[in-house]
Amino acid sequence: MLDLLPFLICAVAYAAQAVVFWPGRIISQRPGYWRLVPLVPLMLHITLLMDAFLGGDGVHLGFSIILSAIAALSVLVYGVASWRYSMGGMQGVVLAIAAVAVLLQGVMGGGQIVPHSDNPAFRAHLLMSMTSYSLFLIAALHAVFLAAAERALHRPAEKTASPGMLPLLTIEALLFRLLEVGFTILTLTLLTGIVFSKQTFGEHLPFTHMTVFGIASWLIFAALLLGRHRYGWRGKRAIYGTLAGFAMLFLSYMGAQFVLEILLGRA
């Protein structure tokens, strides 16, 4: 129980702040230094992640650790972005996800040791893959908010939009900015993965589910960004393309780990 205590403290801190920042709350729209408050539990979160990643005998990875790391990076991105932009309550959703993720990490434990984790190419690949996951998770959340904003625009009588929601064009602009940065990092992730695979296994692109789904997500995001710049794609194309690309990216690693660890109970 004592081992779980710091995870509980971090999760409760995130959950409490999620209530404060939740869409529709007036406080979520006010500027000020309080926007950096989520970075306080984030420091504890990062400490817990470092203990899990670097367990003394190598790098440990697992479904809960990866999910927790992605959530932590998402909180960091939103915490920094909220200093410059009003996030319209979307920060509350990210904080709620982080609360669940850090609690799952505490309950499920430390994962398994990753072979070849001392390889610099692998470490670069891992860092960039986590970053791209986080950016595309945030982009997927923006796509959901964009869908809600569009629905509210076409059905104003239903009042489906939250008072704290950003304007539709602002959400859309932020979405494509996230996609552009995420796509750049995803490209670097694939390239470092190719280098690592060549150094370790002697082949550039091994035919695995990670390779297939990773390339599929890259192609979807590439097509979406090309369509945006050349044909002005927006609206439903942006929403569906973002969610489809994120689904492929999720399946490339997290989906397989979820099946193995959660459904099949294998370490």
Q: pLDDT (tens digit, 9 = 90+) per residue, 99-157? A: 999 999 888 876 666 666 677 777 777 788 888 888 898 899 889 888 887 777 766 55
**pTM across the whole model:** 0.79
Give the CA distances from residue 86 to residues 25, 142, 165, in Å, rounded to whole numbers and listed in that order: 13, 14, 10
Q: Is the pLDDT of residue 29 over 50?
A: yes
| Same domain, residue pair 227 and 144 | yes
Q: Is the pLDDT of residue 217 over 90?
A: yes
| Same domain, residue pair 219 and 147 | yes
| Same domain, residue pair 178 and 62 | no
Q: Is the pLDDT of residue 43 over 90?
A: yes
Q: What local confidence, expressed as pLDDT, does residue 228 receive?
A: 92
Q: What local confidence, expressed as pLDDT, does residue 262 receive?
A: 54
Q: Is the pLDDT of residue 52 over 50?
A: yes
Domain boundary among 114, 132, 156: 114
Q: Is the pLDDT of residue 258 over 70?
A: no
| Mean pLDDT lowest among 62-66, 106-110, 156-160 | 156-160
Q: Report the run of H or E that residue 60 belongs to, with start and end.
A: strand 60-61
Domain boundary among 114, 131, 165: 114
Q: What local confidence, expressed as pLDDT, does residue 12 receive?
A: 95
Q: Is the pLDDT of residue 252 over 60?
A: yes
Domain boundary among 57, 80, 114: 114
Which range of 57-61, 63-67, 242-246 scores highest in mean pLDDT? It is 242-246
Backbone angles phi, psi at 255, to 5 degrees: -65, -45
Q: Which residues contact 150 (CB under 8 A, 6 or more apart)?
A: 168, 235, 236, 239
Longest dimension (CA), the chain: 61
Number of domains into which the chain is organized = 2
| Same domain, residue pair 90 and 146 | no
| Same domain, residue pair 136 and 101 | no
Q: Is the pLDDT of residue 234 over 70?
A: yes
The neighbour count for residue 113, using CB atoms within 10 Å, is 12
- Helices (DSSP H) in 37-119: which residue ranges? 39-53, 63-84, 90-108
Please answer whether residues 146 and 239 qualify as being in contact, where contact means their C-beta atoms are separated by less than 8 angstroms. yes
| Mean pLDDT lowest among 15-29, 90-104, 138-152 | 15-29
| Same domain, residue pair 69 and 124 | no
Range of the structural domain that residue 95 is part of: 1-114
| Mean pLDDT lowest among 29-33, 49-53, 239-243 | 29-33
